[in-house]
């Protein structure tokens, strides 16, 4: 499993004379969580046969997601309620965390692997 993390961007501001303590500065388009997904890459085997994955959540903790009877397809999104970013109301509540799965397909298969995959999948899809 591989979790993708965004890059850190350093923003510079010019402090203006006369600004008071507590002056708020907005950086348009920065810190925006849209589209709001945590991308997680998993292997094709795990996606098809089920797995348990530790997912990082705010505060440095990890939450384990289990997929026993679920086929995780490319672009599959799991919503974890109450584990997203804090709400704008600053009421201690948090939004939902959207975990988007990226399935790592093999780059090549041998003839034998291809035939075996065909034999297994020919009647399911």
Whole-number pLDDT of residue 49: 92
CA dist 50 to 20, 46, 69, 116, Å? 56, 5, 7, 19
* Cα gap 73→124, rounded to integer Å: 14
Query: How many CB atoms sit inside 10 A of residue 53's CB?
Result: 19
Give all domains of the chain, ordered by start, each with its CATH number.
32-107 (2.60.260.20)
CA dist 91 to 6, 32, 33, 49, 81, Å? 27, 19, 19, 40, 16
DSSP result, 73-87: -TT-EEEETT-SSBP
Per-residue pLDDT of the chain (125 residues; tens, 9 = 90+): 555 555 677 888 888 888 888 888 777 666 655 556 889 999 999 999 999 999 988 888 899 999 988 899 998 999 999 898 887 777 878 889 999 999 999 999 999 999 999 998 888 86
Phi-psi region of 121 (alpha: psi -120 to 50; beta: other; left: phi over 0): alpha
């Amino acid at each position: 499993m591989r979790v993708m993390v965004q890059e850190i961007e350093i923003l510079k501001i010019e402090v203006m004379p006369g600004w008071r303590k507590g002056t708020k500065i907005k950086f348009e388009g920065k810190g925006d969580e849209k589209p709001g997904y945590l991308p997680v890459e998993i292997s094709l085997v795990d996606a098809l046969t089920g797995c348990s994955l530790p997912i990082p959540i705010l505060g440095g903790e990890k939450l384990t997601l289990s997929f026993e009877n679920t086929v995780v397809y490319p672009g599959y999104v799991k919503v974890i309620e109450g584990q997203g970013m804090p709400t704008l109301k600053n009421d201690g509540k948090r939004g939902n965390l959207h975990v988007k799965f990226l399935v790592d397909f093999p780059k090549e298969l041998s003839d034998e692997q291809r035939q075996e995959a065909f034999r297994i999948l020919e009647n399911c899809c």
